[in-house]
């Protein structure tokens, strides 16, 4: 008899595996490699393994990864109940696999059988974690059976919010407000856009609502690039709080404006659309490329300069200088849950020092009688109120120009006794609740003496 030919034992990967492997790569990139989620996302989407994924699979992977990072404290509590001993250090991506699997089971209500099977297959394919496939199977099956029950009596806020943030917010705003900040920060943000004109018309066309501040709010759905008005440059994506910075700069028509730390360009677009002669400055070449593309799509003009804002010397002054300073971004946790896992108190101190230096330099760019608008998307007073108090003490030629909520359709509660703007993530309550919230921003407006 003829010899029997050997058959290949290779098999087709199960449906959904690539998306789950992408989830693990994203979560690992944040928790193990300590990199921002958006950076890991961009790199992963460019990799051959994931570049061909369907948009819905990309969206699924991002949603699962974001949920895992947002609710990591809860997930660790659940997993800890079913792990009999600590995991070894040499575990590959085992912990991200378990966290992501638990997130799908107890947070996203995905089918347990599929979640467990895909997690086990992902483990088998991981060079460092493959020997733990049976453990993953056993633990996640128990999570699927009892995970929600274990969470029912837990304090979700205290499990998920790092201690330093909870203590900081409690000290600055009181425990009750700190809890409201935390609860709002743990909800996913809706999509806000700024329009060049006809907000009511575009809201109707896009199925959104016009907020009191003038932004349009949409429930997240599908690719932004596929929405009406994107290709023709009718609008740009910008949180409602970030959109207030340009509004607070006042009437900039025919005035010279320096937008410092400008990329990716939301403020530049708003200032240019309002008629300002804008010089947009940022040190990041890739982010400036994105800014240029946005301006081109929007048919708006600005001078774009690649330079370090802390030392940029254009040899002239400006009527208005806007400094949206680098910060810990703790006001944007709704959109960037990786901040919960990447930031610490040392980052607040480091950012405050950088902001002080940038503010001092930005002041030298303001002409006599001109405005300096300082903003951060941080909830930490060290990066907001404390910075401005220290700046004014060292620069007596500047004075606060108090902000009035009526200037931008806001509420009086948003303005502090000092006249500065401070938005909290629980502001802008809407129906349904999924459309509520706003990034936590601080904005101060200062005028230089003649």
Binned average pLDDT, 10 residues per bin, the chain of 450 residues: 40 82 97 96 91 90 97 97 90 96 96 96 95 96 95 93 97 98 96 96 95 93 88 96 96 97 95 97 94 96 96 96 98 97 97 97 98 98 98 98 95 96 96 92 97
* Backbone φ, ψ for residue 383 (5° rounding): -100, 0
Q: Are the C-beta atoms of residues 342 and 36 closer than 8 Å to each other? A: yes
SS3 for 85?
Answer: coil
The two tokens of residue 259 are 């937008």
Q: Are the C-beta atoms of residues 434 and 450 closer than 8 Å to each other? A: no
Map out the domains of the chain as residue ranges.
17-154, 191-448
- Alpha carbon dihedral 81, 85, 90, 91, in 10-degree steps, equals -30
- Quick one: pLDDT at residue 230? 95
pTM to 2 decimal places: 0.92
In what helix (H) or strand (E) does residue 291 lie, and over which residues does it extend?
A: helix 285-298
CA 265 to chain CA centroid, nearest Å: 15
- Quick one: pLDDT at residue 153? 85
- Quick one: pLDDT at residue 11? 62
CATH code, 191-448: 3.40.50.150
SS3 for 369?
Answer: strand
List the one residue out of 446, 199, 292, 195 whose CA is nearest residue 278: 292
List the one residue out of 238, 242, 232, 243 whose CA is nearest residue 218: 238
Contacts of 437 (CB under 8 A, 6+ apart): 184, 187, 189, 190, 334, 425, 426, 427, 428
Q: Are the C-beta atoms of residues 326 and 383 closer than 8 Å to each other? A: no
The two tokens of residue 126 are 């991981």
List the one residue out of 413, 433, 436 whose CA is nearest residue 425: 436
- Quick one: pLDDT at residue 51? 86
- Quick one: pLDDT at residue 114? 96
Domain 17-154 CATH assignment equals 3.50.50.60: no
Q: Give the number of C-alpha atoms closer than 13 A to the C-alpha of residue 69, restricted to the C-beta side.
A: 33
Q: Active-site residue numbers? A: 377
């Amino acid at each position: 008899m003829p010899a029997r030919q050997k058959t290949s034992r290779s098999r087709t990967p199960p449906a959904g595996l690539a998306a789950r492997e992408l989830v693990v790569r994203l979560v690992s990139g944040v928790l193990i490699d300590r990199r921002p989620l958006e950076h890991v996302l961009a790199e992963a989407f460019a990799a051959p393994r994931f570049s061909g994924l369907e948009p819905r699979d990309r969206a699924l992977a991002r949603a699962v990864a974001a949920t895992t990072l947002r609710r990591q404290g809860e997930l660790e509590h659940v997993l800890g109940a079913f792990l009999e001993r600590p995991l070894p250090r040499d575990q590959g991506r085992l912990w991200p696999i378990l966290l992501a699997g638990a997130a799908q089971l107890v947070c996203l209500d995905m089918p347990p059988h599929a979640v467990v099977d895909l997690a086990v297959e992902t483990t088998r394919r991981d060079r460092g974690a493959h020997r733990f496939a049976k453990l993953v199977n056993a633990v996640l099956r128990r999570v699927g059976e009892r995970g929600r029950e274990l969470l029912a009596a837990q304090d979700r806020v205290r499990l998920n919010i790092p201690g330093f943030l909870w203590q900081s917010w409690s000290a600055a705003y009181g425990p009750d407000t700190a809890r409201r900040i935390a609860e709002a920060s743990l909800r996913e943000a809706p999509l806000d856009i700024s329009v060049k004109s006809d907000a009511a018309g575009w809201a109707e066309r896009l199925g959104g609502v016009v907020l009191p501040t003038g932004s349009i709010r949409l429930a997240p759905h599908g690719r932004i690039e596929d929405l009406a008005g994107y290709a023709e440059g009718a609008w740009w994506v910008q949180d409602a709080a970030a959109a207030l910075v340009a509004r607070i700069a006042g009437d900039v028509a025919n005035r010279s404006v320096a937008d410092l730390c400008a990329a990716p360009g939301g403020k530049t677009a708003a200032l240019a659309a309002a008629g300002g002669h804008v010089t947009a400055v940022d040190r990041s070449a890739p982010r400036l490329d994105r800014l240029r593309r946005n301006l081109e799509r929007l048919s708006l003009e600005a001078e774009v300069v690649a330079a370090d804002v802390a030392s940029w010397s254009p040899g002239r002054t400006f009527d208005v200088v806007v400094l949206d300073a680098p910060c810990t971004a703790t006001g944007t946790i709704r959109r960037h849950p990786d901040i919960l896992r990447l930031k610490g108190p040392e980052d607040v101190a480091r950012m405050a020092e950088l902001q002080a230096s940038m503010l001092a330099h930005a002041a030298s760019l303001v002409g006599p009688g001109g405005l300096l608008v300082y903003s951060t998307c941080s909830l930490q007073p060290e990066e907001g109120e404390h910075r401005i108090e220290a700046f004014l003490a060292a620069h007596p030629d500047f004075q606060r120009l108090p902000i009035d909520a009526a200037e931008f359709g806001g509420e009086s509660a948003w303005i502090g006794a000092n006249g500065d703007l401070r938005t909290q993530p629980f502001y802008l309550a809407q129906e349904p609740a999924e459309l509520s919230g706003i990034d936590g921003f601080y904005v101060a407006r200062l005028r230089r003496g003649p």
